[in-house]
Structure 1
Amino acid sequence: MSLNDLAIDVPRAAVAAAASELRATLGDRVLLRGDAGYDDARTPWNLAVAQHPFAVVIPRTAQDVVDVVRAATRSGLRIAPQSTGHAAGALSDTDLTHTVLVSLRALRGATVDPEARTARVLGGSLWNDLLEAAAPHGLTALHGSAGDVSVVGYSLSGGLSFYARAHGLAVNAVRAVEVVTADGSLVRATADEHPDLFWALRGGAGSFGVVVAIEIDLLPLADVYAGMLLWDASRASEVSQAWAEWTRSAPETATTTLRILNLPPLPELPPFLSGRAVVVIDGAIEETDAAAVALLEPLRALQPEVDTFDRIPAPALVGVHMDPPEPSPSVTCHAVLGELPARAVEAFVAAAKTPGLFVQELRHLGGSVNRRPEDGGAIASLAGEYLVHSVAMVPAPDAAPAATAAVRAGVAALVAWRVDALALTFVDAPGADRGVAFGASWTRLRQLKLAYDPANLFAAARPV
């Protein structure tokens, strides 16, 4: 049992007193059930998840966060930090009845130091915020495949970018974390200040406090060779086998994914995608144009009907993967694979035909993703050579069981090649064995949780 599974029992008689305490301390910064704006504030990015917390607070400053942590503690309530709610599915089995959801959506902003090649990013900031600030300086970051994902949540949970094989997990770029801890203190944790907490936050994140800002290293890249290749899904087996073979010798400068997408006929989709099943290879290659062109030659020889690979501005990389641009209802499942022989590829292609499956995806790992730096935190590397990721949409609540079964089947098809590892940023459902994700760090991380949050104040999406 995780510490996060332990509920705090608040007597009914104390509920009104807790509400009064929050009102008195936080005023209109707190939204209680029945308040105008409560339903909007409690709704996460993943619309398949219905959150019903005791209250929602949308802080605009670090002091607001200090105030809410102290007020919740006095009221006998818990705290659930949340930036965007992309990972809300992982929190869905946590009882929020006596929990204040701290939605950091208004705490946004990024300040870039071009000389140091670093950025200070506020707790609710999105990758789009940071990339916009960094681009004028010819800099970018180890961002994810979508621009509306939280920098903090993604980075402190590992972060697997299209630069990962060359530069490792995004968490290793974190140089400082500003966090409000369980006693209501605002603490700056670095390798030199509060080093144990700094180690724990890089992986443990929301289990140790509400992160109001992080400082990260940036990459000196103004542009990158990136894009996608697309074929009809009737060629999925041929293309998938070719990609698997290609990845076995691809340099670490190339980080790509293979996806089979089953797309509904929607008017918002471009005609070449609407109502089709397609197979797509996308990603980035940190090489000269000539070297990238030579590297892609075996894949281009398969004559894709769409080929967008080219030199693009670095901020445009977040659009290459075509993640949904708006909040969406979905369920997902993933596993890490040690190898990808021909039989595994065929199993992957067959699983993509599972009824209800929206996306069946393989991400190429290896390279720097596997190598743990000496100064790494609780999460600093990820074992395995590939990651299989299945996604299904949930258009209505009663569709959730079938969607969940579909994504589990999509991953189970490759169980023979699975290794004991998990990528935290892909954990979006309750019940994951987080000990597998943390590996050798698990015991120390739980000991530090007891030291920094002995009353288990913080309810995290991926709890320790």
Structure 2
Amino acid sequence: MKQLTERFTGPVLTPDDERYDAERTGWQTARAHRPDLVVGAATPADVQAAVKHAADHGLPVAVQGTGHASAAVAAEGGVLITTERMAAVRVDPDAATAWVAAGTRWNQVVSETAPFGLAPLSGSAPHVGAVSYTLGGGLGLLSRTYGYAADHVRSLDVVTADGHLRHVTPDNEPDLFWALRGGRDNFGVVTGMEIDLVPVTTIYGGTLIFSGERTAEIFDAYLQWTATVPEAMNSSIASILSPNLPAIPEPLRGRRTVHIRISYTAGDLATAESLVAPLRTLGTMIDTVGKMAFADSGVIHNDPVAPTAAESSTAMLGDLNSDALPALLEQEPTPHIVELRHLGGAMARPPAIPNAVGNRDARFLLNLVSPLASAELSRIRTAHERIIAALGPWDTGGRFLNYLSGHGAASQVRAAYSPADYRRLSEIKAVYDPHNTFRLNHNIAPAKD
């Protein structure tokens, strides 16, 4: 063991080490890897050494940044590479780009780009890891306006299964560049990426909160409203059952309420207010929508920062109307959160440099979330499956990799891509990872022929 640890800058842990559990556990605590070896990578060289060790011993490799996606797999054995020690951002304001290291969270990127009047295409939860989010597609607060985060990657540094550190661009290994942007960690461990930044400093954003007693009415009005708004308007709607805890504001505590989240990117305040006005006429309990710094946009969704154990399910949907509401809003016994994210806009268009992100014709993304403490796991899964099955007429059959977690995630990976793109991904996998070393993930198996 000593000979092995001398090869690394960061810690190398086994199940006997008292630091092992803390290192292997991510934000999502419903499932956690139980590897034979955890490498807390502090440098790209650490990643290379870990991958080489795994390859030499025929071990599978998993990668974890913040652990938000670890509900997708809970594996025994192998090597887990954690990247949280690799957190760094370099901003080039003249080129409007940033280089982001493997373990960096979006809040660090946002804070370091804001002084230059620039913003990344970050997610609704600022504490999520930037690299894994982007490799899975990246659907955030500015996506209808600018596209998926994966559409704005300029280059990637990645350690492939042979232990080589490669600098990948559209011109240098274009197949691998295409596959990584949408294929997540199937092709290697990304140690850093260069991304485009956009000229956004302020948005017209916030949350409109309505009584849960009017859930169907508010959802119906929201669906009609989304058909009228420009792509500068980014929004989502969620029915949320808040826990009965002192930390929750009294009007929401222990109650089901409806939240419409707004992020409008154009600078015309009068236009922004006129666009939101039809929603305000519905009568809000709480209205926080107004001009805000993009650096403060994490308050819009106000996603929990503390680690949590939850089961989630997802589907990509087409055009919705009031006929879908009985299926969508069934709430017994779960879920605690029923969310729709409005898609379309720039997400519906092919990016300037193609990537593997699929299902661009979907109109909404459905996300169902239930805390595991709220009911037995079997009841939660049954409720989620029943809702998605009832939405069959509107279900496109597509799935979105960033939201694939929980029960059945592994069997739905193909649905994140077109059949042709999945075939191409498996062929590229056969070139760069023929033994499927990177398989403790949303796995794409290497083509056999």
TM-score bracket for this pair, using the shorter chain length = over 0.9
Whether contact under 8 Å (2:9, 2:41) holds in the other structure is no
Pick from 389, 393, 404: which aligns with 2:371? 393
Match of 2:340 in 1: 362
Whether contact under 8 Å (2:206, 2:299) holds in the other structure is no
* Aligned residue type for 1:78: P
Q: Please report how far the alpha carbon of residue 24 of structure 1 lies from its aligned counterpart in structure 2 after TM superposition.
A: 5.3
**Alignment partners' CA distance in 1, 2:412 and 2:275:** 38
Whether contact under 8 Å (1:390, 1:408) holds in the other structure is no
Count of residue pairs brought into register by the alignment: 440
SS of 1:265's equivalent? coil
* Aligned residue type for 2:31: V
Residue 49 to residue 27, structure 1, CA distance change in 2 (3 Å): same
Give a deviation string over 1:250-306, Cα, whole Å, max 9, x none.
111111111100112011212222111101111211121110100011111112011
**Alignment partners' CA distance in 1, 2:3 and 2:376:** 40
Match of 2:222 in 1: 243
Whether contact under 8 Å (2:399, 2:415) holds in the other structure is yes
Give a deviation string over 1:116-135, Cα, whole Å, max 9, x none.
11000000111011001111
Match of 2:129 in 1: 150
Match of 1:131 in 2: 110
What does 1:27-426 align with in structure 2 at a 5 Å threshold?
29-92=11-74, 95-97=75-77, 99-287=78-266, 288-349=268-329, 351=330, 353-379=331-357, 382-395=360-373, 399-426=376-403
Give a deviation string over 1:350-387, Cα, whole Å, max 9, x none.
x2x22131101111111221111242112266221111
* Aligned residue type for 1:85: G
Whether contact under 8 Å (2:136, 2:401) holds in the other structure is yes
Whether contact under 8 Å (2:144, 2:343) holds in the other structure is yes
Q: Please report how far the alpha carbon of residue 141 of structure 1 lies from its aligned counterpart in structure 2 after TM superposition.
A: 1.3
Q: Which runs of 5+ in 1 are unaligned?
A: 1-18
- TM-score, normalised relative to structure 2: 0.94
Residue 24 to residue 109, structure 1, CA distance change in 2 (3 Å): closer
Q: Please report how far the alpha carbon of residue 234 of structure 1 lies from its aligned counterpart in structure 2 after TM superposition.
A: 0.4
SS of 2:81's equivalent? strand
SS of 1:25's equivalent? coil
* Aligned residue type for 1:41: E
SS of 1:280's equivalent? strand
* Aligned residue type for 1:421: G
* Aligned residue type for 1:365: L
Q: Please report how far the alpha carbon of residue 460 of structure 1 lies from its aligned counterpart in structure 2 after TM superposition.
A: 4.2
**Alignment partners' CA distance in 2, 1:35 and 1:100:** 15
Q: Please report how far the alpha carbon of residue 76 of structure 1 lies from its aligned counterpart in structure 2 after TM superposition.
A: 2.5
Residue 392 to residue 31, structure 1, CA distance change in 2 (3 Å): same
Match of 1:459 in 2: 439
**Alignment partners' CA distance in 2, 1:32 and 1:252:** 49
**Alignment partners' CA distance in 2, 1:437 and 1:380:** 6
Residue 27 to residue 342, structure 1, CA distance change in 2 (3 Å): closer
* Aligned residue type for 2:23: A
SS of 2:417's equivalent? helix
Q: Please report how far the alpha carbon of residue 319 of structure 1 lies from its aligned counterpart in structure 2 after TM superposition.
A: 2.1
**Alignment partners' CA distance in 2, 1:149 and 1:241:** 31
* Aligned residue type for 1:293: E
Whether contact under 8 Å (2:339, 2:366) holds in the other structure is yes
SS of 1:231's equivalent? strand
Match of 1:16 in 2: none
SS of 2:7's equivalent? helix
Q: Which runs of 5+ in 2 are unaligned?
A: 445-449
**Alignment partners' CA distance in 2, 1:70 and 1:122:** 21
**Alignment partners' CA distance in 2, 1:300 and 1:283:** 12
SS of 2:167's equivalent? strand
Q: Please report how far the alpha carbon of residue 27 of structure 1 lies from its aligned counterpart in structure 2 after TM superposition.
A: 7.9
Whether contact under 8 Å (1:173, 1:216) holds in the other structure is yes
* Aligned residue type for 1:257: S
Whether contact under 8 Å (2:9, 2:43) holds in the other structure is no
Q: Please report how far the alpha carbon of residue 431 of structure 1 lies from its aligned counterpart in structure 2 after TM superposition.
A: 3.0
What's the RMSD between the two structures over aligned residues? Answer: 1.7
Give a deviation string over 1:7-29, Cα, whole Å, max 9, x none.
xxxxxxxxxxxx67644534872
**Alignment partners' CA distance in 2, 1:356 and 1:433:** 22
